[in-house]
Structure 1
């Protein structure tokens, strides 16, 4: 843990000095008083300043972003991040050039990186944190592709009257398929198999 020991005429002054040194606010630190101030003889001789220890309270999202930036540096990628609060959690969007290596085949590398980012964030949080990782809006494009695929395969099932078994997908991608066809009047969906080989099946109702 990141800690510093600072002094001041009063406890408040010592804490203020530490916050100024770290350029942060009181809600980001834990304070432990090491020494109370004393005036000494005649208020002058042997006077002692207050001494406190400040311990940095890590922010889960900041730690996740720091982890990702380390990944970018290691991979020699020119990339940066922005954040957005969404109903599904905190969205970290990666932007920059040549991000294909971070996305991987059908987003598999991005999914793996998202898994690691969530582990890092939750290591520094007392409550569960959910982070959705995206790169240049890949997930929205992928969602649209899967929705169009769902509609095409639903028509095939109706035409051939045979069920269609899709390739293995992540839970997030399976959810897109299920959501797209959940109100379809003629077909239904269900999943079979175990992760990472769990698949969506589209069949007649």
Structure 2
């Protein structure tokens, strides 16, 4: 947290002085008056200036959005970021045309940007806020594709009674596969290997 104590003849002047030092607008700070100004005896002796404590309030969502906006501009991507507060996460939906470069191969660029946005957004926040990035509805499309893959692989494992090893996936994608198959009583799943080459194995469940 950035905090500044400033003094001036009036409270407003002291606050303005602190804001200039912090280089942030008034809307992003909390203000505490430490000492009221006083003119002293007969308005001449013992004059006391106002003293205030101004503290910058870090907003993880705002900080993450500002960072992502700057990255998109540097990548020459013309897009806007729609923010949606969901139950457990904050969704940054990147809206624009031709966002394939933002998504990357199997979402790798999108995942990398999401990782960086979360680091920037949460670097000064005690309570972690999970930010998820999406573009062109990629997350839901990829989830559906993974679930279809899991269904096909499960059927193959049941028919052949042999383990099937999937290609390496991110932790988030592995979670989709595990979650989709966890309630089946004919197959089991487990992960093997080390990141970033960790993969899922689907195996027949022992009778």
Partner of 1:61: 61
Does residue 204 in structure 1 map to residue 177 in structure 2? no
| Mapping 1:10-25, distance limit 5 Å | 11=11, 22-24=25-27
Partner of 1:120: 120
Structure 1 length as normaliser, TM-score? 0.83
Going from structure 1 to structure 2, the CA distance change for 1:151 and 1:79 (only over 3 Å counts) comes to: same
Partner of 1:81: 81
Contact persistence 2:3–2:53 (CA under 8 A): no
**Partner deviation per Cα, 1:16-43 (whole Å, 9 max, x = no partner):** 9989x93527xx325464x641224534
Counterparts of 2:181 and 2:39 in 1: how far apart (Å)? 76
Counterparts of 1:44 and 1:94 in 2: how far apart (Å)? 61
Counterparts of 1:109 and 1:128 in 2: how far apart (Å)? 23
CA RMSD of aligned residues (A): 3.0
Partner of 2:149: 149
Structure 2 length as normaliser, TM-score? 0.82
Counterparts of 1:88 and 1:169 in 2: how far apart (Å)? 23
Counterparts of 1:3 and 1:73 in 2: how far apart (Å)? 32
Does residue 192 in structure 1 map to residue 195 in structure 2? no
Counterparts of 1:102 and 1:2 in 2: how far apart (Å)? 36
Counterparts of 2:97 and 2:46 in 1: how far apart (Å)? 62
Contact persistence 1:154–1:202 (CA under 8 A): yes
**Partner deviation per Cα, 1:129-160 (whole Å, 9 max, x = no partner):** 22112112211110011001111111111222
Count of aligned pairs between the two proteins: 200
1:7 Cα offset (Å): 4.8
Counterparts of 2:107 and 2:146 in 1: how far apart (Å)? 13
Going from structure 1 to structure 2, the CA distance change for 1:79 and 1:167 (only over 3 Å counts) comes to: same
Counterparts of 1:88 and 1:24 in 2: how far apart (Å)? 26
Does residue 94 in structure 1 map to residue 97 in structure 2? no
